Amino acid sequence: MARARSGGSPSAAWAVTLLGAGFFICGILAVLFFAQKGGVQEELDAAERDLRELVNNAEANSPAVQEAKNNDQGMTAVGFLLNKADQARNDLATANQSVSDLQVQKSDLETKLKTTQGLLEQAQRDAAATAAGLAEARSAFDAKAQELEGRVAAAEQTNTDLKTQLAEYETAIRGSTEEARRALQNNIDQLRVDLDASRRELASAQAELVNLRGARDEAIAKIADPDADVATITNNGNTVYLNIGRNQKVTRGLTFSIFDADDLVKLEGDLELEPKAVVDVFEVLDNSSTARVVQRQLGKRIDVGDAAINLAFDPNRVFRFFVFGDFDIDNTGDANDIDRIKSRIRQWDSQVADAIDYNVDFLVLGKPPALPRELTGSERSDPIRIQEYNAQQRKFNEYNELLAQAKEFNIPVLSQNRFLALVGYYQR
């Protein structure tokens, strides 16, 4: 029995030891647990402070924060809001770029507006000048017609007076002496001479008046038959295509007035009816031409089929040219192209005149000849130099004489380049 008690004592000791170790370990674990709890609490407190710095109680209940909390993208509220902020910044940058682009467009539009206003003002000035020129021409025509009518009336009155005097002299001569009869006969003869002269003056004035009225009637009648029609309209109505071209003697710079077809009847009685637009030809083909609109009535629109009219333009007229001088069409250095100039005139259905007179429409002059240098020393006895000098002097004198005659006859003078532009040589 004693051995049994002796053998149980070590087991109890081990049990006590183990129990003590367990309490010790539990104590350590308790310390560790409370230490960890304290750390977690500190982290929780720090997190709450950070949260209060990010959002306060009032902001926490705002719709934006509630939307961030409830987002379905798996993001935190802060991440969601930051993402929203990035999107807002990108949208703002895009809006700023759009504003910048619109400002550039605005600047371009302002520049174009200034240019358009300048063109409009120039067109208005040109229209005013054209209207003034038309009024001046009409006034001159009326004054000339009135002058001729006065001359006709005066001539008719002179005829009446002369007839009366002739009748009186014939009555007086019957009862006069032979001497008186001869004196009266002489007076009668002189009166008849004066009467014939007066009749010729009357016939001349009447013919001139008829021609002037005929020219006016021809101009009015020509209006009813337009020179061309508007075939096509492009560039927002600012460019038109006419159905006549180089073959109808259209040249660059030629202007046409645009009318409604129905307005042509009105024009026959009113030459001053304002066109709804004026166009200027800038490109010419064989049977068509392109023109830009340089003037337009406010609210008026150009339509296909509208009539184009230029009173001074006549494709059927045969022009007469007088040509003189040295010509070098292709700038080869060989100034012997006068025959080519004359050939171009004939190809243009016009005539080459043999001399300059009132019937010549244009004077075409080549390069102005230089005044020859006076002969000196041995040149004065050199027959070749004398012949060259005389030829140069004759050409110089003839050139200047032609200029004087053109001025006297009021004939336009064309240089080589102006002539070639007129007949369309540079456009081929």
Give the CATH number, domain containing residue 401. 3.40.50.10190
Spatial CB neighbours of 146, under 8 Å, sequence gap ≥ 6:
none
Q: Which of 179, 170, 270, 148 is nearest to 220 (CA)?
A: 270
Amino acid at 191: L
Residues 285 and 336 in one domain: no
**According to the model, what pLDDT value does residue 179 have?**
67
Look at residue 409 and tell me if it is in a domain.
yes
Q: Where does residue 257 rank: exposed (0-12), middle (13-18), buried (19+ CB within 10 A)?
A: buried
Same domain, 232 and 297: yes
Are residues 250 and 346 both part of a single domain? Answer: no
Longest dimension (CA), the chain: 224
| Structural domain includes residue 352 | yes
Whether residues 326 and 400 share a domain: the answer is: yes
Residue 368 lies in a domain: yes
pLDDT of residue 4: 45
Q: Residue 406 is which amino acid? A: A
Same domain, 295 and 326: no
Given 191, 207, 223, which residue is the final one in a domain?
A: 223
Tell whether 233 and 258 lie within a shared domain: yes
Cα–Cα distance for residue pair 423/252, rounded to 1 Å: 10
Q: Is 71 helix (H, G, I), strand (E, B) or coil?
A: coil
**Measured on CA atoms in the order 68, 70, 74, 76, is the torsion positive or negative?**
positive
- Same domain? For 214 and 240 the reply is no
Looking at the domain assignment, is residue 395 inside a domain?
A: yes
- β-strands 362-365, 351-352: how paired? unpaired
pLDDT tens-digit profile, the chain (428 residues): 444 444 556 677 777 787 777 777 877 877 777 767 777 777 777 766 766 666 666 666 777 667 666 776 667 767 777 777 778 788 888 878 877 887 888 887 788 778 767 776 775 786 577 667 667 767 776 777 778 777 777 767 876 776 777 666 666 555 556 666 677 677 777 777 776 666 666 666 656 655 555 555 454 445 557 889 999 999 998 999 999 998 888 888 788 989 887 766 455 444 456 889 999 999 989 899 999 999 999 988 999 999 998 876 777 888 899 999 999 988 888 888 999 999 988 888 889 999 998 889 999 999 999 888 998 999 889 999 999 999 999 999 999 999 999 998 899 999 998 888 777 666 54
Domain boundary, last residue among 223, 253, 268: 223
Number of structural domains (the chain) is 3
**Is there a contact between 280 and 242 (Cβ–Cβ < 8 Å)?**
no
Amino acid making up residue 70: N
**Is the residue at 117 inside a domain?**
no
Q: Which domain holds residue 406?
A: 320-427
Rounded-to-integer distance, Cα 80 and Cα 67, Å: 9
Can you give the pTM of this predicted structure?
Answer: 0.39
Same domain as 305, residue 357: no
Return the bridge partners of 256, or none. 279
Same-domain check for residues 301 and 330: no
Is 2 a domain residue? no
Residue with structure tokens 């009539």? 307
Give residue 428's pLDDT. Answer: 43
Asked whether residue 19 is domain-assigned, the answer is no
Are residues 241 and 286 located together in one domain of the fold?
A: yes
Phi-psi region at 76: left, alpha or beta (left = phi > 0; alpha = psi -120 to 50): beta
Domain endpoint, select from 309, 328, 345 = 309
Measured distance CA(122)–CA(27) in Å, rounded = 106
The torsion region of residue 306 among left (phi > 0), alpha (psi -120 to 50) and beta comes to: beta
Q: Could you tell me which residues come within 8 angstroms of residue 413 by beta carbon, excluding any fewer than 6 positions away?
A: 362, 363, 365, 403, 406
Residues 340 and 415 in one domain: yes
Q: Based on the domain organization, do 241 and 302 belong to the same domain?
A: yes
Question: Is 90 inside any structural domain?
Answer: no
The predicted structure's pLDDT at residue 206: 59
Evaluate whether 379 touches 390 at the Cβ level (below 8 Å): no
How many Å apart are CA 30 and CA 363, to the nearest integer? Answer: 128
Query: Alpha-carbon distance 356 to 408, whole Å?
Result: 11
Model pLDDT, residue 411: 92
Could you tell me the CATH number of the domain that includes residue 299?
2.40.10.410
Non-local (6+) Cβ contacts of 341 within 8 A are: 323, 327, 329, 364, 416, 419
Q: Please report how many Cα atoms fall inside a 13 Å half-sphere around the Cα of residue 397, on the Cβ side.
A: 6
